[in-house]
Structure 1
């Protein structure tokens, strides 16, 4: 697992170590998609009331390859290419955005910190304002098609399950408890090619 590193001896992870309930987050400066990623890393406590507002990013680390760079606290820092791409995609063009992403916000060179933060991860995700998912760039132009196909499936499910309030009752046999399937066709054509491309993504495995 690669560790964010800066030129010379500079490190984005200042002492002292994170305290109980603390995490680091990135305040990502606004910019257009093609501009370099600039962030400020800072600590927040999830024990505060109210909890500071932040959003998490869930993504796939993917295969090891050449790292990318971001500007972090004014220094050029190497980070995994997948995490740079995820932050770049989630960055806003008109205002800062506060994000948590494991590869950058956790000091990967510290076994102690990694262990503590992994154990705390359920709280990190459950306390966030939003949990964002980055599936990668849409190289095959499947994203819009996939979302439209999901809308068609969801519309049919909504009608069959009383607006999703009876999902379990609908798919389970009342007597045996077994999951049942339906041979009824969808009410509209479903783009199964785009759904297959979507759910074959590594994030779903």
Structure 2
């Protein structure tokens, strides 16, 4: 018998979550936690970090041990077998990297802090998950272990980001005062020679990691007060990542490459043919340019969009439950603010109901039928195949007046 989650308090108007202290340890020692329920309130909640990561596959799960903070050592020893839950290998690797050697670390981790077997609790917690990331003192974006020269990729991004300043209202950039290379902040100037083909490949590989394709991470990074991106034991501050991705986006567009006469993965030469630099393939192919746009959009500090845009194509929006294509973006949706009744996630409801209710609430809140212009009877959409990644056709039973919230959708940026 595994760990039994104590019920969360249900105070009127109060929002309770669980936090866990990742206990200190080294190497491959079993991961151990202390769990505690706390009210999600700026005045009373203790400082914690929220983890943003990809769950990964469910095979070969690892057991971790959870201890309720108010229990005695004797009771813990007696009920050791009942204190274990299983987590995915991806999460286990992340926690082994994040665990301190000499002190506990207070975290919020969805797979551990939410009872995933209780659909009622899960629906309730998902409803204010955006607030969890707002309250967190910092969000840790876990991209995975060190691989494919990721240490160098983070160095390159940090070097670029530290020399560029972005005005997110006008979507323009300029050199940081005192920048070592002012041309980095000028969108019309090419990348300098000292960024090599290997540097480009390292950044390309980092941006190809699964985290950038996951639905939930949109709100997790957009709502964070502070955040870092970590791969292995190296990390970069979100502001540096924002600046660097914006710089890449402006300097490596398809139009600029076409003007230079380059093609996918071509080697381009700068300054009289010195130091050939291969433009990263994801930034030179059309789909790759969209990936660069998507990475740039995800890092945008003012990311918000309307439900009318929820269905548009974008590369790589993946999740394990088709309802998450709405629930995972609720905190970023605009235009529902005037709807007095809350849009409450319900994982027991049919998928069709989830999409239909969102459209009805949007129409009511906006008093407009503009969203109907987004409908298409021929649009291939949301019903997912067994790998939960690729579309197989329009969801059966979905009304024709409901845009299909498919796996691939664009995110429109709205300032303010």
TM-score greater than 0.5 by the shorter chain: yes
Contact (CA 8 Å) 1:12, 1:72: kept in 2 or not? no
Inter-partner Cα distance in structure 2 for 1:194 and 1:204: 15
1:70 equivalent in alignment to 2:64: yes
Q: Does 1:79 align with 2:87?
A: yes
Q: Which residue of 2 aligns with 1:150?
A: 157
Report how far residue 101 of structure 1 moved.
0.7
Distance 1:111 1:195, change over 3 A: same
Pairwise CA distance, 1:129: 0.8
Q: TM-score, normalised by structure 1?
A: 0.79
Which one of the candidate residues 4, 7, 26 is aligned to 1:15?
A: 7
Distance 1:90 1:16 in 2: 26
User: 1:204–1:166: structure 2 CA closer, same or farther, 3 Å change rule?
Assistant: closer
* Superposition map of 1:21-100 within 5 A: 21-47=15-41, 49-73=43-67, 74=80, 75-100=83-108
Structure 2: runs of 5 or more not aligned = 68-79, 174-185, 214-416
**SS of alignment partner, residue 86 of structure 2:** strand
The SS at the match of 2:146 is coil
Displacement of 1:168: 3.2
CA distance in 1, matches of 2:41, 2:22: 23
Aligned partners of 2:57 and 2:88 also within 8 Å: no
SS in 2 for 1:145: helix
Classify the secondary structure of the residue corresponding to 2:59: coil
Structure showing greater Rg: 2
Provide the residue aligned with 1:5 in structure 2: none
Shift of 1:24: 0.6
2:177 aligned with 1:170, yes or no?
Answer: no
Is contact 2:8–2:16 with CA below 8 Å preserved after alignment? no
| Shift, 1:137, TM fit | 1.5
Q: 1:169 to 1:38 in 2, by over 3 A?
A: closer
Structure 1 counterpart SS, 2:170: helix
Q: Write the distance in 2 (CA, Å) between the matches of 1:182 and 1:143.
A: 27
Task: Decide whether aligned partners of structure 1 residues 168 and 153 sit closer, same or farther in structure 2, where only a CA change above 3 A counts.
Answer: farther
- Distance in 2 of aligned mates of 1:167 and 1:186: 27
Asked whether the equivalents of residues 56 and 88 of structure 2 are also in contact (C-alpha less than 8 Å), the reply is no
Aligned with 1:113 (options 118, 121, 133): 121
1:184 pairs with 2:190: yes
> 2:90, 2:140 → 1: CA distance?
14
- Give the one of 115, 126, 129 matched to 2:137: 129
Deviation at 1:151, TM superposition (A): 2.1
Whether the 8 Å contact between 1:106 and 1:117 is mirrored in structure 2 is yes
Equivalent position SS for 2:143:
coil
Instruction: Tell me, yes or no, if the aligned pair for 1:57 and 1:86 is still in contact at 8 Å.
Output: no
Which fold has the larger relative contact order, with Cα–Cα distance below 8 Å and residues 6 or more apart in sequence?
A: 1
The unaligned stretches of length 5 or more in structure 1 are: 1-7, 172-179
Residues matched between the structures, number: 183
Distance in 2 between residues matched to 1:86 and 1:12, nearest whole Å:
24
The Cα offsets for residues 39-90 of structure 1, whole Å up to 9 and x where unpaired, read as: 1111111126132111100000112212111121152332222222222221
